[in-house]
Amino acid sequence: MLRPFAALAPVPREEDYGIDAIGTLIRRAGRVYVAEDSFCVQIKTRTSAEFPLSGDGIRWLRELDLPYFPVVVDLNRATLSLFTVNHHRVAFAQDVLVPNITFTLDGDGHEDFPLGDPLMMWSLEEAAHSEFPKWAYSVLKPAIRVEAWNQIFAPARSIRFLNYQTQVFTARKDDGTAALPPTSGELLHIPPGDGEFIRRTVAEIIEPFAAWISNTGKHDHLGEELLKIRDALRRLDLDPDPNNKWDEIASVMAAYSGKS
């Protein structure tokens, strides 16, 4: 029921630390399939739909490189529900002391966290429909993007919320995609976060930013502003230009703007 829209690599049971399979979203392009974003799933039957985490397990969830989605299978109805834990991310944000977390269909919100409404649900019959892969892709693609962002920036304790309502296969547009696909929501920051991670991330982004801005052809008269940004960051104990390459960048920008 997952394979129509994802290439799957089952995780061997002896190596299963909470992941049953790693999936890679696939999109049909002409005669071929294009592999795109990856994610991991943990699968439970509805009769035992509990996803417990404690201690190192919570650290494991924080440090995953791929988005994590709990999946619940209803064997009697031959349906599958895929959930997101996005709305509980505050509970396991970096350095927040939560000893135990159990995601369940019905939880009290203290140690048992309710999974809430599924992101998407479908039946075995629907999975065989010709439009199903396109529909599933349109639902999961934006959700994976938001959750992948959250996994990357979890050390900064920045959380991007996911806006969604449960998607069902019968609610789709004329082109076969979801009628109301998930969207990126509010950004929540819980300071201070991992200072070294934040400093490293800013430094890694600001350097290519300087090179990019100097090649747009729109900002050549603002080369001096780059140097002001560098000086301000240095006063904040972050050096984005340890080899003073920006001096040359600003000089070239000035030359193109006719200021030299």
pLDDT digits (tens, 9 = 90+) for 164-199: 999 999 999 999 999 999 999 999 988 888 899 999
Q: What is the pLDDT of residue 140?
A: 97
> Distances in Å between the alpha carbon of 160 and those of 95, 145, 209, 234?
17, 10, 23, 29
pLDDT digits (tens, 9 = 90+) for 103-123: 888 866 666 888 999 999 999
pLDDT digits (tens, 9 = 90+) for 78-97: 999 999 999 888 776 655 55
Q: What is the pLDDT of residue 146?
A: 96
Q: Reduced to 3 states, what is the DSSP secondary structure of residue 145?
A: helix
pLDDT digits (tens, 9 = 90+) for 11-70: 876 555 578 899 999 998 888 889 999 999 999 999 888 888 777 777 777 778 899 999
pLDDT-derived band at 99, boundaries 50, 70, 90: low
- Cross-strand bridge partners of residue 34: 27
Nearby residues of 68 by Cβ (< 8 Å), 6 or more positions away = 19, 39, 40, 41, 42, 61, 85, 147
What angle, 0 to 180 degrees and rounded to 10, lies between the N-to-C axes of helices 223-235 and 195-213?
170
Q: What is the pLDDT of residue 60?
A: 78
Nearest of 156, 163, 148 to residue 87 by alpha carbon: 163
Structure tokens at 75: 């064997």
Task: Record the pTM.
Answer: 0.86
Q: What is the pLDDT of residue 111?
A: 63
Is the pLDDT at 161 greater than 90, yes or no? yes
